[in-house]
Structure 1
Amino acid sequence: MESSASEMSAQALINWELAASTAARLTPPGPTLGSAEIGAAVESLRLAADISVPHVHDITGLEAARDLRDSSVLVVDRASWAKANTQSFAVMLEPAMEKLLEGRHGSMNPGAIAVSGAITGSQLGAILAFLSSKVLGQYDPFSALAENSSAPPAGRLLLVAPNIISVERELNVEPQDFRLWVCLHEQTHRVQFAAAPWLRHHMLAEIENLSGQLLGNVDSLMERATAAAKSLRDRSTAGTGPSRGAILDLLQNPEEKAALSRLTALMSLLEGHANVVMDAVDASIVPSVKTIRQRFNARDKDRGVIEKFIRNLLGLDAKMRQYSDGAKFVREVVAVAGMEGFNRVWDSAEQLPTEPEIHDSKLWLERMGLQ
């Protein structure tokens, strides 16, 4: 009886259904499209996703790109993207939630858990609502691990149609070219996980480690959250943003920082590699690629004050730095060892670059014996 209650409580620590419904309610409307336009856009994005895979294979040399049948491509709206992420978050955070519940055994009653879960679910939903209008695409390797999941064994690639259309209109670029350009990046992530079947569980273990570190001492976490929010406010008032995002200011002890360092290195590698693939594309594949790059890279200059504040809070600008740091690492390694030498990163977790190696590729090349 106690075990069953414990399991129910762990699920209730975050109300995932409320998170999804809150995100759907708060998500800003996308561009206005008629039913025929929607159908054409979905078909166009599916075609771009298919066309991009052979190009990813040619650029990366990864044989996994030849057969991606164990994952799928979905063209979704903003609310569907948010709901998909609640499912993935539930998978990623379940071990940490169970650990938190065990640490609080006997001190949390079902009523308090339900109220706390509703508050947390609402807050997460608000964050997902904000992000749902920003994300163009996302490879989700964890959806297949969710309870009663209908996703293919290796996961799914989500292409957020309203956002892709909104940005291509904002930039005034050729829609077909922009959609292919976006798909080249996103399909590279799909190929990465196909090339390294061990990667999903490795990443999940690292996320579990970091979230477990943070949630293991929830009292300390709340104190640090308050301090981080004050720090963000002070730096925003002074006109200087945080270096890595106020959320990351919560990290204090060496174990937490080491866990974050490993995740940062991995995300930098994945994002940087995908950007290198995008940048390897020339006008023979995407005719207006030069214009797309110039206009897309200039978008950040036009962000409003509120959006910049939220991006700083969530560390989204740190994510953009991951793109450039990781891309620099990939280019430097390929210049010395070729793409075949670089592709050794997909062989095992032990061959992934550390965060210091991301910033100094010679360290990784020496460790791999490729210098």
Structure 2
Amino acid sequence: MSNLPFGFGLPDPDKRRENDPGGSGDQPGSGADAFQQLGQMLSQLGQMLSQAGSSTGPVNYDLAKQIALQRLGSESKMGFVGDRSSEDAVRDSAHLAELWLDEATILPAGASTTVAWSSRDWVDKTLPTWQRLCDPVAKQVSSAWMQALPEEAKQAAGPLLSMVEQMGGMAFGSQLGNALAELASEVLTSTDVGLPLGPPATSALLPANIEKFTEGLERPSSEVLVFLAAREAAYQRLFAHVPWLRQRLLATVEEFAHGITVDTSALEQLAGQVDPSNPASIEQMMSSGLLEPKTTPEQQAALGRLETLLALVEGWVDVVVADAVGERLPGADALRETLRRRRATGGPAEQTFATLVGLELRPRRMRAASALWKLVGDQHGMDARDKVWSHPDLLPTSEDLDDPMGFAERAGHGEEAGDLDPIAELERTERAEEQARSEESEDGEPGEDTGKDR
């Protein structure tokens, strides 16, 4: 794990020098000066806490949103997204893409709304999903630190522990806000990182970011917009009509986060080597990797499942979009390869996500998955290819990506893939979920302890 998740960012020594330009912090001062400095510090702390919003929990999401929007302030005034013609162009491109996709997949349109987002819109609309992804990480890290404190230290701290937790939430929120601002200035669509971050049934493109992305591609901007609209629409079809997919992707990220552990024994080593009067020693220990979370076997297994599922999703989108637009857009092949490399090599967006959640969200085997989906489609048609999504047990495994020919043969001759109807499966799944909710409501109201004797 090359990136440190929440709470493991390093202090900025330049800021410390700015706050103490003359090095006066190292010089002994009078008692009056010390009390004055303490009063100023407490006043600043109180002001900071009051301005951070009312968000509670392991991450201060109010502060995260404030920071992200502040950093994006100048970008939001570009006027590109707010321009009416840009909104029309997004809708027209999405409409054309949907018509082409109808001929390339049996899954119907999944988006009921197509919108043009600014970077600020992206932050606002995706924050609920980020909260679901980031909470497990922050909770694990926070609880590890609290459990590592000796009991006598906890008793001595008393009420200060709640302030420490609040400051920890602010630290996490600050890190998240800066990361979201960086992502928001780079993403092209709501599904650009491979996860369904936006509201369901909403296809969203960011024209201002797409305009920057188009520079240097030597392709007309209208062509790039249609190609990206087709990719976004393909994702939405998959997420809308494969009801278990959204939940499984997000749950696998959560499963990875829940496995984060911190070697608390390192705190004892840290305590013996740090000089509280010398901030440089703290910075040195933090940068040594001593407190870096350890990757467990359970996390490695979850990561493997996530990478395979991401590869299958992006490989399917890659093949379907190529089938839909390949002969209609002159630069489709070049755009396809550009986006493949963009996702495979990673960039600031992927690195930022790795910092946020502690893993690299990169479909390392996307090309293998794309080859598999194409092989199944070429041999058995798009019906057999798309019906594989009818049930999670039918999906290719990591081993199948090593042997696409073997999987293609099973997909063609097995009754499971040939006979399943994805729409019928969707209806059956919805009926089962409705029945489960009905039984739950009969057993007891939500939140009621149904295990008690009545």
The TM-score, its normalising length taken from structure 1, stands at 0.72
Match of 2:254 among 208, 216, 230: 208
Q: What secondary structure does 1:136 align onto?
A: coil
Query: Residue 167 of structure 1 aligns with which residue?
Result: 213
Q: Secondary structure at the match of 1:48?
A: helix
Residues 77 and 160 in structure 1, CA contact (< 8 A), matched pair in contact too: yes
Unaligned runs of 5+ in 2: 1-53, 155-159, 268-283, 415-454
Matching residue within 360, 367, 370 for 1:324: 367
Matched-pair contact (CA < 8 Å) for 2:252–2:305 = yes
Asked if structure 2 preserves the Cα contact closer than 8 Å seen for 1:174 and 1:288, the reply is: no
Say if 2:113 is the partner of 1:61. Answer: no
Shift of 1:168: 1.9
Question: In 2, distance between residues paired with 1:228 and 1:325?
Answer: 39
SS at match of 2:102: helix
Give the alignment of 1:129-278 within 5 angstroms.
Answer: 129-139=181-191, 141=196, 151=199, 154-214=200-260, 217-219=261-263, 252-278=295-321
The alpha carbon displacement at 1:38 in A equals 2.2
After superposition, the Cα gap between the structure-2 partners of 1:76 and 1:87, relative to the gap in structure 1 and judged at 3 Å, is same
Distance 1:320 1:173, change over 3 A: farther
In the TM superposition, residue 79 of structure 1 has moved relative to its aligned partner by 2.2
Give how far 1:124 is off.
1.6
- Counterpart of 1:118 (choices 163, 166, 170) is 170
Match for residue 48 of structure 1 among 93, 109, 112: 93
The answer as to whether partners of 1:269 and 1:358 remain within 8 angstroms in 2 is: no
How many Å separate the matches in 1 of 2:265 and 2:83? 44
Cα contact 1:184–1:277 (8 A) shared by 2? no
Residues 220-270 of structure 1, C-alpha deviations (whole Å, 9 max, x = no match): 6999xx999879xxxxxxxxxxxxxxxxx9663221111111111111111
8 A Cα contact 2:58 2:139, kept in partner: no
SS where residue 19 of structure 1 aligns? helix
Query: Is 1:346 aligned to 2:389, yes or no?
Result: yes
1:243 is aligned to none
Q: Distance in 1 between matches of 2:196 and 2:187?
A: 16
1:23 aligned to 2:75? no
The separation in 1 between residues aligned to 2:410 and 2:188, in whole angstroms, is 36
Q: SS at the partner of 2:187?
A: coil
What's the secondary structure of 1:135's corresponding residue? coil
Q: Shift in Å at residue 47 of structure 1?
A: 1.4
Label 1:178 to 1:117 Cα distance change in 2 as closer, same or farther (>3 A): same
Write out aligned runs for 1:296-335 (5 A).
Answer: 310=351, 319=362, 321-335=364-378
Summarize the Cα distance change of 1:60–1:230 in structure 2 as closer, same or farther, 3 Å threshold. farther
Change in 2 beyond 3 A, CA 1:172/1:221? farther
Q: Equivalent of 1:361, from 404, 411, 415?
A: 404
Q: Deviations over 1:119-164 (max 9, x none)?
A: 1111122222222222111236465xxxxxxx5xx35333112111
Indicate the larger mover: 111-120 or 360-369: 360-369
Q: Which amino acid aligns with 2:224?
A: F
Deviation at 1:175, TM superposition (A): 1.6
1-side partners of 2:383 and 2:402: how far apart? 21
Counterparts of 2:102 and 2:285, CA distance in 1: 47
Aligned-pair CA distance for 1:318: 6.7
Please tell me the root mean square deviation across aligned C-alpha atoms, in Å: 4.2
Q: Give the letter for the 1:286 counterpart.
A: L
Aligned-pair distance for 1:45? Answer: 0.8
Count, aligned residues? 326
Change (3 A) 1:370 1:24: farther
Shift of the 19–31 alpha-carbon distance from structure 1 to 2, 3 Å rule, reads closer
Question: Aligned partner of 2:101: which letter?
Answer: V
Counterpart secondary structure, 1:73: strand
- Counterpart Cα distance in 2 of 1:368 and 1:283: 25
**Range moving further from structure 2, 186-195 or 100-109:** 100-109
CA contact (8 A) 2:100 2:325 kept: no
Whichever residue aligns with residue 93 of structure 2, its letter is A
- Aligned-pair CA distance for 1:118: 0.9
Are the structure 2 counterparts of residues 34 and 92 from structure 1 closer, same or farther at C-alpha, using a change threshold of 3 Å? closer
Partner residue in 2 for 1:6: none
Structure number with larger C-alpha Rg = 2
Return the alpha-carbon distance in structure 2 between the equivalents of residues 91 and 155 of structure 1. 19
- Corresponding residue for residue 236 of structure 1: none
Which amino acid is the alignment partner of residue 335 of structure 1? D
Partners in 1 of 2:177 and 2:209 — Cα distance? 18
Unaligned runs of 5+ in 1: 1-8, 144-150, 232-248
Q: Residue type matched to 2:241 in 1?
A: A
Q: Which has a greater percent of helix?
A: 1
Distance (Å, rounded) in 2 between the aligned partners of 1:169 and 1:307: 18
Residue 73 (structure 1) shift: 2.6
**Retained in 2: the 8 A contact 1:52–1:183?**
yes
Partner of 1:85: 126
- 2:13 corresponds in structure 1 to none
Question: Does the Cα contact within 8 Å between 2:94 and 2:226 map onto a contact in 1?
Answer: yes
Q: Measured at CA, do residues 18 and 278 of structure 1 come closer, stay the same or move farther in structure 2, by a change above 3 Å?
A: same
Gap change, CA 1:211 and 1:307, over 3 Å in 2: closer
- Same amino acid, percent of matched pairs: 22
2:442 — aligned with what? none
* Alpha-carbon displacement from aligned partner over 1:328-350 (angstroms, at most 9, x marks no partner): 22123323333222223311222
Partner of 1:244: none
State the AA in 1 paired with 2:382: M
Residue 216 of structure 2 aligns to a residue whose secondary structure is helix
After superposition, give the CA deviation of every residue in 1:288-316 in whole Å (9 maximum; x if it has no partner). 4355457667889x99xx95995796699
CA contact (8 A) 1:23 1:129 kept: yes
Letter in 2 for 1:78: S
Indicate the larger mover: 333-342 or 94-103.
94-103
| Distance change >3 Å, CA 263–CA 58, structure 1 → 2 | same
